[in-house]
Amino acid sequence: MSAPDPTTGGPLAGLLVADFSRILAGPYATMLLADLGAEVVKVEGPAGDDTRTWMPPVREGVSTYFLGINRGKRSIALDLRDESDLAAARELARRADVVIENLKPGGMARFGLDYDAVRESNPGVVYASISGFGSGPGRDVPGYDLMVQAMSGLMSLTGDADGPPYRAGISVFDVMAGNHAAIGILAALRHRERSGEGQHVEVNLLSSALTGLVNHSSAWVASGTVPYRMGNAHPSVFPYEPLPTADDDLIVAAANDPQFRKLCGVLGIPEVADDPRFARNADRTANREELRPVLVERLRQKTAVEWFDLLTAAGVPSGPIQTIDGGFAMAERFGLDPVVPVGEGDRAVPTTRHPIRFSATPAVYRLPPPELDEHGAELRKWLSEDA
């Protein structure tokens, strides 16, 4: 391996990221950076990232979980308890523009790879740490997304009103924290560009969760109101939930008065929009139990897809409830090209397109998710050479 090449494409070309993270939040952040052109070196223990073993499902014997968050990276397996491997890790951190880790707070200090230690030899480093509950009193609490979904209050908001709390279908706060880490890294790099100073960027899942609960967090912080689960209903807007049609449920999200008037027009009940019980959003929300059957009676006359096309043409937000394959099919219908290949030949893997589009510096898909220590030999050789 040679030094990062600024001509490889992507807005972050030339940036070297030393990735000491594992599982989801950190690897998701570094995958986003790799898509944008950064050279990401994934440091794994001798057994590899945990997600290599999280299966099924698999693709040719490889965990699809691992494949989904590790494209664009080079892998080196290092045992940090081994003196020569630790020296290589420290040299990688010394050369890196960005170091990212998600061990329990203090874990990297055991190896002389914490921020203070790395900064001594690399004063301009942007060093990102992701934890479950911060580096203060919560430092010793393991940070798993399911725990944070429970402890943040999200599960209390998810599920039927008279049923048990549920977790979200994905590790939503790991993904959110990964996004926050990427944002923090980019902001710190901008600061370094202006000042020459590196810094320590800290992200924790609980803080990501609390900001991510948005209106529910604000309900508590600003008014002392504790929200509770309402199934698929919205506490402040109606209609904004699934409603039954002739076949499947359809999401109807008429979130303001003009949209509701258009909805009533498409449904053939324009007079309902003038009913004082339903004229304003606050009225509709207060009288939702009276309004819902009026809407359902009309919606049952056509299928969900038929209504979707009619409502979309009228400018009323709606959408059929689909499985994942349907979601990708819809993205194809809208010309979003959601699947791109990464790698070439037998190593080519279909992957989900990076979510951000750039007019001048598009995302790059150079390297398939690496095999464990796939690039170890070339990286060790590079790290042993004078920088």
Active site residues: 174
In three-state secondary structure terms, 44 is: strand
308/23 Cα distance (integer angstroms): 38
Tell me the chain's radius of gyration from C-alpha atoms.
25
What are the tokens at 267? 């449904």
The neighbouring-strand residues paired with 250 are 243, 320
* 182 half-sphere exposure, CB direction, 13 A CA radius: 20
What are the tokens at 49? 């990232």
CB atoms under 10 Å from CB of 45, counted, come to: 16
Single out the residue of 124, 115, 287 nearest to residue 193, CA to CA.
Answer: 124
Residues across the chain: 387
Single out the residue of 11, 18, 21 nearest to residue 203, CA to CA.
Answer: 21
- DSSP code of 52? G
CB 364 within 8 A of CB 72: yes
What are the tokens at 196? 């020459």
CB 44 within 8 A of CB 22: yes
In three-state secondary structure terms, 129 is: strand
CB 178 within 8 A of CB 24: yes
CB 234 within 8 A of CB 241: yes
Residue 142 neighbours by CB under 8 Å, 6+ apart: 104, 132
Burial of 110 (0-12, 13-18, 19+ CB in 10 A): exposed
Residue 184 neighbours by CB under 8 Å, 6+ apart: 128, 201, 203
What are the tokens at 13? 């070309």
Residue 140 neighbours by CB under 8 Å, 6+ apart: 104
